[in-house]
Amino acid sequence: MNTPTDINPNDTRGEALLNLHIHDRFVSELPADPDLDNHRRQVLGACYSFVKPTPVTAPYLIAYSPEVAADIGLSPHDCESLEFTNVFVGNALIDGMQPHAMCYGGHQFGNWAGQLGDGRAINLGEVEDRHGELQMLQLKGAGETPYSRSADGLAVLRSSVREFLCSEAMFHLGVPTTRALSLVGTGEDVIRDMFYDGRPKAEPGAVVCRVAPSFLRIGNYELFASRGELDNLRHLINYTIRHHFAHLGEPSTETYLKWFKEISERTAKLVVHWMRVGFVHGVLNTDNTSILGLTIDYGPYGWIDNYDPDWTPNTTDAGGKRYRFGHQAQIAQWNLLQLGNALYPLIEDAEPLRQVLNDFVDFYNQHWQQMRADKLGLKQFIEETDQPLNQELQKILMLTETDMTIFYRRLADVPCEPDTAINDTELLSIFDEAFYAPESLSKADKDDIVAWLKHYQTRVQQDGTKDKDRKAAMNQVNPKFILRNYLAQQAIDKAEAGDFSEVIKLLEIMRHPYDEQPEYDEYAGKRPDWARQKPGCSMLSCSS
């Protein structure tokens, strides 16, 4: 079998790429799997296994993120070079790269799954960004690893397009996330059974290069704890604190508790962001929960179109709805409980761990309430007035199918200053575009919506905020553009036919989600009826 080769240092194309300085903290400081053969196995006493990407025959660059590239010192010229394509598809290695796959476990759908690991992700090494921080480069879909189990370690174009676009869309929305540097087609087909119905087919393959300070997740710590490998658990925690939480001080029992508290608070803030923009992770297992409070592993995710707290984008979750939109905070806390259980053997005192988990509720609610105030353009959350205001809002959003994103964006257009009053019909008409079936609204429904809007106007007047200032503030937290699943699917359909223009266009639009961008108004509309049941446009499988 061919293996990746070093790139030619005499070729001056992509010169900055050749000069990237690769750091190896993870592989040099943490225990490695001594078995260098790439075969499926249980890996004991190690944080990772060395493994090389699988070369492909005819790779081609589809897209790259100019911001991520610039952040690590690469120009458009570098990114458009043949060397770039070869490195970030897995065909070539830069000097210093030591490709490896992480070993971790996890709870999946509430059940302990044992060893999981990077089944189709291969870490290349860390590079320094313009802030002086190290960022791990990771290829997703670059071939099998010891953790691939019965899979092939590859990725198809459709899932890779989704991950590439959503990583960058989330970043520009202001949501903590892993990033995506590049999307490269492999020129080879991958066999997938998208609907799990026994009808697999060949699909184009692709590789995404993901970028983050670390891809460590709760499952990394859970696995060592589950096996009683406490020295390795302590070693990994100490490494994590020294390199990613150094502000907490030198590792100690006290520092471990501070670390757990900060992870809890970062996770709470992350879920508040998801709720703000209407994002549903879809498969928030502990192996998909970042230790840094980042959105990680974009699989069957989704965006709320019509507001429904019980909606899940994951077909596997359609029955239990464990990972539904309105349940994400509870699942995040449950995942943190599993991290607390993993830490307990080192702390040997349950009470401070329990206190962190209890504090999660108050911390989350505090930030969630302020987020809701921000979405309404209020200066601060006042429980006496704003709790009932928000409770009533949840009800009117569900009187008929109401697009959450459009509703909040239009709410900024409601005149609230005393001298700008409009009649009830005009007030309701502001939201025409937000209703999927406006004809379904009864007179009583319309009266309820108008009554809430008048209640809202009164509350804004209490703040004394000018309409112009309120709209400007609201439009910085309520996006006009989100990466709705049907938009991504349209880009995928074209990409599978060899036309990548829609991928590039969506990448550009989602770079400015809060701007008006009137030339792209069609991308801000509600989900069309044809997309309700079309595969890939609403719910997604884990194969999507």
What is the model's pLDDT at position 544? 44
Residue among 517, 322, 312, 319 at smallest CA distance from 409: 517
The DSSP code sequence of 128-171 is E-TTS-EEEEEEESB---TT-TTS-SB-BHHHHHHHHHHHHHHH
Buried (b) or exposed (e) across 255-285, using 16+ Cβ within 10 A? bbbbbbbbbbbebbbbbbbbbbbbbbbbbbb
Report the pLDDT averaged over residues 116-132: 97
With 60 as the cut, is the pLDDT of residue 13 above it? no
Six token digits for residue 331: 């699942």
Are the beta carbons of 170 and 279 closer than 8 angstroms?
yes
**Radius of gyration of the CA atoms of the chain, in A:** 24
Indicate the pLDDT class of residue 293, thresholds 50, 70 and 90: very high
Report the pLDDT averaged over residues 255-263: 98
With 60 as the cut, is the pLDDT of residue 543 above it? no
Give pLDDT tens digits for 36-93.
999 999 999 999 999 999 999 999 999 999 999 999 999 999 999 999 999 999 999 9
Average confidence score pLDDT of the chain: 95
* Torsion over CA: 491, 211, 143, 41 (sign): negative
Share of the chain above pLDDT 90, in %: 92
With 60 as the cut, is the pLDDT of residue 333 above it? yes
User: What is the C-alpha separation between 108 and 106, in angstroms, rounded?
Assistant: 6
Beta-carbon contacts of 30 under 8 Å, excluding residues fewer than 6 positions away, are 47, 48, 235, 236, 239
Indicate the pLDDT class of residue 19, thresholds 50, 70 and 90: confident
What is the model's pLDDT at position 200? 87
Provide the annotated active-site residues.
287
Residue among 38, 235, 207 at smallest CA distance from 117: 38
